[in-house]
Structure formats: C-alpha cells, structure tokens
Amino acid sequence: MTSNEKLLKLVETAKFLFFKHGVKRVTVEEICRMANVSKVTFYKHFENKDAVVRHIRDALMTTGFSKYDEIVGQDIPFPEKIDLMTKWRVEFYSQMQSEFIEDIISFEETKEQMKTRYMKNILVAQEKGEVRKDLSPGLIWLAAEKLNEIAVDGSWKSAVPDFNELHRQLRNLYFHGLLAK
C-alpha cells in the first residue's frame, strides 16, 4: 500500500468508527488495527486522534458548505431554500451517531463557521425582503439551532407521527408563527 492509500484507509476507518461510536469511545489503536496500518504510520500523518477528527470534520464541513452554497444559489423562494437545507442536513447527519455530531460540533471553530454562513444568508435574505428586517439574525440563528436539536435528538417522535410531518410543522411554526390568521 502506498502512503496515500494508507492515509485514505486511516481516514475512512476513523470516519466509520467515529460515525458509529463517537470520538471518545474510539482509540488510535482501534483505528490502526481495523485499517491494518501501524501506529507509526498513523503518527506520520496525524499528531493525535484530535488531528484525524479535525481532518474528517474539515472534509465534512467542505461538503456541507458546498451543498449549502449550491442551495443558496438556486433561484427559488427563501422558504424553499430552508426546506432543502433542512432535508439535506437531516439526511447528512443521519449517517452519524449523535455522539459524533456532538463531538465535532463541540469544536468552537465549527460552530463559528456554521453561524457565520447562516448569518450571512439571513442578512442577504433580509436585504432581498425575504426575511423580516425587524428580527435579529442572531435570534433567528438561535431559534434555528434549537429547532434542529429537536430534529436530531428524536424527541419529536412522541409529538408527531413521522419526520415529514415534523418537518412540515416546524417549517410552518418557523415561517408563520403560532397565531391564526
């Protein structure tokens, strides 16, 4: 195996294990054993386990932001963009155990990158008149994050019959509020 093949095998194995068990429960030894690569090779490519986590996180962020930018660039109404983003995020995160999501989101730079992108999108939507200008982008971010937590943690299952209904109701709540017209 070439050095690049070993690196790829280490990353793919670490990703598989992290997605399945979260970061904390996986050791460098497990990654090396399952990848059939020595610890010397691991440490040739990564300083420690956090370095491989950051490597995987960066790749996931690149994929996520690429998809996000693709959706933002579409010539469709803002609520449809949010709908597409939400569906994609849930599908994307469903590949991973919640422990891994919590582990990578706990990196402060991850939170900041996500927040910066989201806030920029809200500000552009406000400038276009798609989102009310009297609402704080920061508060919109917090509300969206809390609604996302409900979708990710599964607590919604006792309130609505399926994910599509959850998504429909959250979208209505988010865009139309509580009051009857």
Task: Tell me, yes or no, if the two domains 1-46 and 57-176 fold the same way.
Answer: no
Of 118, 51, 42, nearest in space to 81 by CA:
118
Report if pTM > 0.85: no
Can you give 25-67 as a three-state secondary structure string?
CCCHHHHHHHHCCCHHHHHHHCCCHHHHHHHHHHHHHHHHHHH
Burial of 65 (0-12, 13-18, 19+ CB in 10 A): middle
The residues of the chain scoring below 50 in pLDDT are: none
- Cα separation values, 87 from 124, 140, 171, Å: 21, 18, 11
Domain locations in the chain as residue ranges = 1-46, 57-176
Distance CA 117, CA 177 (A): 24
Single-letter residue type at 12: E
| pLDDT of amino acid 179 | 74
The fold for domain 57-176 equals Tetracycline Repressor; domain 2 (1.10.357)
How do residues 103-129 score in pLDDT, each as one tens digit? 666 566 777 887 888 888 889 889 988
- Look-up of token digits 């996500």: 114
Domain 1-46: top CATH class: mainly alpha
